Amino acid sequence: MADPRTPAVRLAVLGSPIAHSLSPRLHLAAYDVLGLDWSYEAVECTGAELADLVAGLGSGWRGLSLTMPLKRDVLPLLDHVDDTARLAGAANTLVQEPDAAGRATRRGHNTDVAGIVRALGDAGVAGATDAVVLGAGSTARSALVALRDLGAARVAVAARRPERARELDALADELGLALRIVPLHDASTVLAGADTAISTLPGDAASEVALPARLAADAALLDVTYAPWPTGIADAWERAGGRVVPGIDMLVQQALIQVRLFVGGDAERAVADEGRVLAAMRASVGRHPGRPWTGA
């Protein structure tokens, strides 16, 4: 007889370090609303350990959330990769399910792109035309895909190492984006005319970016950082009259899409009572609509 204390479905977020992750709060809040006795834990895992961990997932496992650099490392371990994850070069979600023969198959998804689009949408950003991405790392790829989905035609990337940003040329071509690359210290030259900006720089690294004397009217900045908060660039952007979208909103929204995938296997299909699920997820990390984000 199965141990009644053992959840029927297991999930986890992997990374190193991972103890700080807010993902368990978000997911457990969602499954509580949905009445699902599912477990979701934070598991310390490095890239060197990932293959063995994935290979050892038993039938009780439904999936994994992945942090960098595991979002890249997991790609060769997957049976199927969705198009968004292919473009972004990163899968932050692994969904495990049996095939027709009962063998475990593992599908990779990227929910960061949808998280960016939905977080900006919540702030009233329904579309973008001239956009800027600060940073040229892995998250910049997801930002470019999201800006394509928002209708952007032109994107500038401001990077500490412009030569590294040239790796984004092929992606921009595939997405149909006109790409301009500038050094990070010249970011103000492209931010001046931007209607949308996304900072993918870690921590408070973007605080060194000099803003233009004037921002475009209603210019929006999504800073993917959520701790520490507020960041220097978020403070400066608000003082310059722009709209700031904190990274916690992206985190919550991408987690909601993960919940859809884990529960129903479909990123586009809402879960039951999704409004209440989303409210519970936000509350679990102290994100209350209408109030400034001050940290979890």
pLDDT tens digits, residue range 188-222?
999 999 999 999 998 888 888 999 988 988 899 99
> Residue 94 domain-assigned?
yes
- Structural domain boundaries enclosing 62: 9-110+252-284
From 27, 62, 71, 148, the catalytic residue: 71
Q: Are both 53 and 147 inside the same structural domain?
A: no
Q: Are both 159 and 222 inside the same structural domain?
A: yes
Distance (Å, rounded) from C-alpha 166 to C-alpha 182?
Answer: 10
Per residue in 16-41, pLDDT (tens digit) is 999 999 999 999 999 999 999 999 99
Beta bridge partners of 107: 80, 95
pLDDT for position 1:
38
Distance (Å, rounded) from C-alpha 292 to C-alpha 296?
Answer: 12
Among all chains, which residue has been given the structure tokens 């053992």? 6
Share of residues in the chain with pLDDT > 90 (%) = 83
For residue 162, what are its two tokens? 């412009």
Residue 71 designated active-site = yes
Q: Are both 123 and 184 inside the same structural domain?
A: yes
Q: Are both 167 and 202 inside the same structural domain?
A: yes
pLDDT for position 213:
86
> Residue 291 domain-assigned?
no
Higher-pLDDT residue of 7, 244? 244
> Residue 235 domain-assigned?
yes
Q: Are both 226 and 121 inside the same structural domain?
A: yes
CATH code of the domain covering residue 103: 3.40.50.10860
> Residue 295 domain-assigned?
no
Q: pTM for this one?
A: 0.95
Per residue in 115-161, pLDDT (tens digit) is 999 999 999 999 999 999 999 999 999 999 999 999 999 999 999 99
Name which of 289, 135, 118, 120 is nearest 208 in CA terms: 135
